[in-house]
Amino acid sequence: MSSASAAAEAPVAQSFRLGDVPLSCGQVIPEAQLSYVALGRANPERSNLILVPTSYGARPADLAWMLGPIFDPERWLVVIAGMFGNGASSSPSHGAMGLAEQGWVVHHRDNVLAQQRLLAQVFGVERPALIYGWSMGAQQAYQWAVQAPEMVERICCVCGTARTSPHNRLFLLSLRQALTADRHWNGSGFDAPPEQGLRTYGLIYASWAASQPFFRTIGQPVEQHVEEQWLPHYRRHDPRDLIAMLDTWLAHDVAAGGDLDAALAGIQARTAVVAADHDLYFTVEDMAADAARIPGAELHVLRSRLGHRAGNPHSSAPEQRELRRIVDGLLAA
C-alpha cells in the first residue's frame, strides 16, 4: 500500500461493539463501543500489527498522519484505537457515561482490556509487534506492558510517564477547574456551552503544551493565537468528554498506588522512552526515571522548541525523522 493510498483511508473510522463493559470504578458502560482506524494490511503470520492508542482529545483519524512519516506503510498494519471518553469511543457525550461527580472514572486498565478484545476479535492478534503512544497514548502503552507483560513485544512511550506526577496533576486540576467554574456548570454537565470556561481552559492548555521558545516565534498576540489555533480543537468536543479524559489522566498510575519500581521492573517488552527537551508536562528527568526502572529500556531525547507537541509532529519533518529512526531501530531489534 502506498503512502498516498494509506492517507486516503485515514478518515475511515470503524466501531467495535463491546457489549456491556464493567469498569474498574464499579460502573458499567452499556453497549460500549471502541472507535478505531486500521491502516495497512496484516501479513500472513499476523505479526506486523502496531497498536496506537489515542492521546488526550484525539480521535483515531487524527493520528493517521503517522503512517508514512513514522511507520512504513508497506510493512505494518497500524491500528489506532480511541480511548473511552474521547467522543468517538463511548463517552459522556453518548449519554452512557457520567463524570467523577457521579462515580465514573475510566482507568487505562479499562482501555487496555477493551483494546485487547479489539485486537483479538477483529484482527486475530494477541501480541502486537509494537504499542506506540504519545502523551496519554504513552500512558496506555505503559499500562499494557505492566498489565499484560507476556502479550507485549515492544513499547515506544513518547512524552508520557508511567504515573501522573504531582506537578502534572496541578496542570490537570487547573484545566478541570476552568471548565467547572463556568457559570453554566450544573454539577453533572453544562446547561449551555461554557464559552468562558473553554477560553480559560484553552489559555492554560496552550501555555503548557507548547514551549517558551515556541511562543517567542509567533507573530501575533498570544490571546489571538489561542483563539485561532487552539480553541477550535477544544470546541469540537463536548466539554463533558474533555473532563472525562482529564479524570483518566489524573487517575493514571500503572502501579495503582503501589510500588512503581516493582511494576516497571516487571515489564518484559523491549522499550523505547522518548522525551522532549522542552516538554513541560513530562520532563526529561521524569521520563529518564521511568526508563531507568525498566529492564533494558533506552531513553531518547527529542531536541525541539515544540515542547510537548514535539511528540506529535504532524507538520514538522525534523521530529518526524527522529521518531522514525527510533521506531525503525526498535522494530528491527
Concatenating the DSSP letter of every residue in 275-322 gives EETT-SSS-HHHHHHHHHHSTT-EEEEE--TTGGGGGS-TT-HHHHHH
Which residue, chain included where needed, has cell 483563539? Answer: 227
Residue-level pLDDT at 333:
80
Question: Residue 144: CB partners within 8 Å, gap ≥ 6?
Answer: 51, 112, 115, 131, 151, 152, 155
Kindly tell me if the per-residue pLDDT of 76 is higher than 80: yes
Please say if 241 is a catalytic residue.
no
Reduced to 3 states (helix: H, G, I; strand: E, B; else coil), residue 30 is strand
* Distance between first and last Cα of the chain: 24
Kindly tell me if the per-residue pLDDT of 6 is higher than 50: no
Residues 6, 85, 57, 235: is their CA dihedral positive or negative?
A: positive
Amino acid at 312: N
**Ordered DSSP codes for 72-110:** -TTT-EEEEEPPTTSSSSS-GGGTS---GGGT----HHH
Residues 170-187: what's their mean pLDDT? 98
Q: Lowest mean pLDDT: which of 51-55, 130-134, 227-231, 238-242?
A: 227-231
What single DSSP character describes residue 129? S
- Going by their DSSP bridges, the two strands 77-81 and 28-39 should be labelled as antiparallel
Residues 24-30: what's their mean pLDDT? 98
For 278-328, how does the pLDDT look when each residue is reduced to its tens digit (9 = 90+)? Answer: 999 999 999 999 999 999 999 999 999 999 999 999 999 999 999 999 999
CB-CB contact of 287 with 311 (8 Å): no
Say which of 62, 247, 253, 279 is annotated catalytic. Answer: 279
Please say if 308 is a catalytic residue.
yes
Please say if 108 is a catalytic residue.
no
The span from the CA of 20 to the CA of 141, in Å, is 24
The reported pTM is 0.95
Say which of 35, 55, 93, 135 is annotated catalytic. Answer: 135
pLDDT bucket at 11, cuts 50 / 70 / 90: low
Query: Which of these, 191, 170, 164, 169, lies nearest to 180 by C-alpha position?
Result: 191
